[in-house]
Structure 1
Amino acid sequence: MTPSTTSSDPLLSLLHQYASLQPLHQLVLPSSLLLARSQPWIVDNLLLNPQLVRYPPTKEYRRGFLKALVGRLEDGCREADEEEELEILEAILDVYVESLQSTSTDSSLTYAPNLASAPGASYKTFFFPLPSSPTMQGLVTLKEEQSIIQGGTTGLRTWIASLRLAEYLLARYSNSPFPSRVLELGSGIGFLGVLVAKLMEGSRDGELLLTDFDERVLDGLRDNLKLNELPIDDLKLRVDRLDWSYAQDEEAKGAVKEMGDQLDVELIFAADVAYDPVLGPPLVATLRLLLEPSASSPSAFNSSSFPPKRRTALVATTIRNPTTFEAFISQARSSGLKVTDLELPMEQVFWGCGEGGSEDATVRLIQLELDHDDTDGF
């Protein structure tokens, strides 16, 4: 954990952008003069940050970032009053020169064995405010692929819809307990899973189940859970393979329903899972099964909670093709699900995902519940 500052702090924003590999052409840098006057802070909190020393960005990214930083510092030193006598600190110049001279491969990429050999793999660190301690910030550090598709899957990197959904979860549960029975669909490399696991830390009866289909993605997810020192496959945090097509198979769909019932799931969440029209029907079928309450659920026989607590799903999607997402919503409603649009927070917490060349990609967040008016017995 690291001391928290307001999100409007330009120096803290600089640290967050560097740690999360904000695309260099999209960096939002503080003023030149502020940077020149804040060099000791930059050295102590960015260049010597213990988490970033242990899990640094790639050498190529550091080289480009430092080039932009030094150029801005040169401008700031020229703009300063003569009596300030500002010049670039030797510690910053030494790091920059070292980055220019370094041509070797990153040895730091050997931590996560399932991703170590992937071209373009890098560590990323995301900072977030801890709801339980406003003066501190939590960390999510990931080893992930930087290319859009690696090995035929898009699941080896973090996408912008995950960042926006994370911001929603932080805002929604800033003053209330996080749900205790939670399941993620399409967990990918683990950004949301790690974040939610950390938000649920301390919950006595909390259980989190992270799911995906591709075994390589699941391996990378497990690596990142270990990297963040989270206990994998104990009773509170589990990783499992889930094939959405099972929900459309009469013989196999019982296993999908059982997965949600054994967990007695309260909240289901997913990000960037409705991007392909082919995935829409099996995804909707999976959500429909998981959102149905179990007759054997403890809450179903608890008079104080009758009728049974409604299960809720949150799905965030970057709108690349509006027709695809509208088709997904139509399919959800046709299957007996109530769809509600939710408003995303205005305040940006996370950086590092300049998808499509823009940090302003449109993300929609919807809530899905079983529509009790359109179903029999529910």
Structure 2
Amino acid sequence: VCGEGSVTETVQRFIWDHCLSKADGKSHAPYVRNFLKKLITEVELNHGVVLDELYEQYAYYMTSLKDDNLVKGNARVCKFISFLFPDGCSELPSCPNSRKLVVPLQCSLNMLKGDTGCSVWPSSLFLSEFILSFPELVSNKSCFEVGSGVGLVGICLAHVKASKVILSDGDLSTLMNMKRNLEYNNLNIGTAGPGRVTDGLNMVKCIHLPWESASESGLQDLRPDVILGADVIYDPVCLPHLVRLLSILLTQRKSYSHKQNDSRQGSLSDSISVGDKVNHINRWNANEKDDRLDGKVNGAKQANTNASGDGFDACGGKTIWDGTTCGARKGPLAYIAFVIRNVDTFNQFLYLVDQANITITDLTETLKPINLLPYMQSYDRSNISI
């Protein structure tokens, strides 16, 4: 059987019929699982269609080896994240009638055994609170998340009725766990290569996207209005690929609009969050933020804040931020939630962003989300920025 250099469906069928379906599952399970992972990765990287049998067999090996995972400390458990809306939030579009949004998630017990993509990170919780606190920033917009992990942010995006939700991750096992979490939360799942995203009612799309292999042509059909990421600024080796990916996503809709003879004027620089260029990146470190990153949105008037600066009145009611400032900006935006664990790594990110002509603003104090997780004592919001 010849696939002319590609792992076509015919080639996959041959491999399945003559190799995988006859493999001794017990004695060769780890090897078959690794082979399946590489095979599926190769097909998806070339935007091919993976046989259902291959996905099902891979899922089987992932679950059947759970005893070994327990021994290695990689056990998965189901957690329930309950976002509790305080009194006064009933008019907030994201607030359920019960004032409680419960999100079941399958996640890892161990973050130190190569299973980080299946863990719930503080920045993901913070970005989820941000989305639920300011739903107008993403509702009725096409949203794309890089490094989606367990899928919590995507579930919140779907809850606030983003017009399109596309989640991505570079690890296949993380992607499969993410899809399972979407199913737990009664969301329809669409799976496609980066360049083959299809529409569907109430559908969340999941794509396999290693940052290092992302290409402009492969992402040409996405054109998101909003890009999101939580705790993606951690590995200096990955930062050039991340910034390149962000640059592609931030310029797509703008380039598309120009091709449609849009007569926009103004700066062509891209934007992470919203606002002013960081001119002296070394001033923003773990202990000191650049005073000039004050939340201005292209010179527009800031939303007034109360004494606490969180954009909410004393009873927790949403009174100030209406999203008009962000909504008036032309072109896509990216919201990145992060913890500065290493100053040099973060400064490298800022340098790469500056070189890519991407503007950046610290919104941490300007747009403080509601504390929707008051019971979560281990969740420290104080060291998270956006």
More helix by share: 1
Matched, 1:348 2:309: no
1:117-166: CA deviations, max 9, x gaps?
Answer: 2434211112234725453322211011121133x231111100111111
Compared CA separation, residues 304 and 228, structure 1 to 2 (3 A): farther
Compared CA separation, residues 221 and 336, structure 1 to 2 (3 A): same
CA shift at 1:302, angstroms? 7.4
Amino acid of the structure 1 residue aligned with 2:130: Y
CA shift at 1:185, angstroms? 0.2
Compared CA separation, residues 244 and 176, structure 1 to 2 (3 A): closer
Distance 1:176 1:278 in 2: 31
Residues 148-187 of structure 1 aligned to structure 2 (within 5 Å): 148-150=111-113, 152-173=114-135, 178-187=139-148
Pairing partner for 1:230 from 184, 187, 194: 187
Preserved CA contact (<8 Å) 2:133 2:370:
no
Name the counterpart of 2:240.
Answer: 281
Compared CA separation, residues 231 and 351, structure 1 to 2 (3 A): farther
Pairing partner for 1:324 from 337, 342, 345: 345
Name the counterpart of 1:6.
Answer: none
1:181-230: CA deviations, max 9, x gaps?
Answer: 11000001111111212222xx6xx1111000010100100111111110
* Structure 1 unaligned blocks of 5 or more: 1-111, 248-252, 366-378
Compared CA separation, residues 278 and 240, structure 1 to 2 (3 A): same
Name the counterpart of 1:58.
Answer: none
Compared CA separation, residues 138 and 335, structure 1 to 2 (3 A): same
Compared CA separation, residues 305 and 237, structure 1 to 2 (3 A): farther
The alignment-based identity, stated in percent, is 29
Residues 152-301 of structure 1 aligned to structure 2 (within 5 Å): 152-173=114-135, 178-200=139-161, 206-233=163-190, 235=199, 236-247=203-214, 253-255=215-217, 258-259=218-219, 261-294=220-253, 297=256, 301=260
* Structure 2 unaligned blocks of 5 or more: 1-58, 86-91, 191-197, 267-328
1:1-28: CA deviations, max 9, x gaps?
Answer: xxxxxxxxxxxxxxxxxxxxxxxxxxxx
Name the counterpart of 2:97.
Answer: 135
CA shift at 1:294, angstroms? 4.2
Preserved CA contact (<8 Å) 1:209 1:239:
yes
Distance 2:170 2:137 in 1: 32
Compared CA separation, residues 292 and 115, structure 1 to 2 (3 A): farther
CA shift at 1:115, angstroms? 6.0
Amino acid of the structure 2 residue aligned with 1:127: S
- Provide the secondary structure at the position in 1 that maps to 2:233: coil
Preserved CA contact (<8 Å) 1:115 1:121:
no
Preserved CA contact (<8 Å) 2:165 2:205:
yes
Compared CA separation, residues 335 and 133, structure 1 to 2 (3 A): closer
Distance 2:158 2:144 in 1: 11
Amino acid of the structure 2 residue aligned with 1:162: S
Distance 1:146 1:351 in 2: 22
- Provide the secondary structure at the position in 2 that maps to 1:254: coil
CA shift at 1:304, angstroms? 8.9
**TM-score scaled by structure 1?**
0.56
Name the counterpart of 1:338.
Answer: 359
Higher Cα Rg: structure 1 or 2?
A: 1
Compared CA separation, residues 322 and 350, structure 1 to 2 (3 A): farther
Preserved CA contact (<8 Å) 2:131 2:137:
no
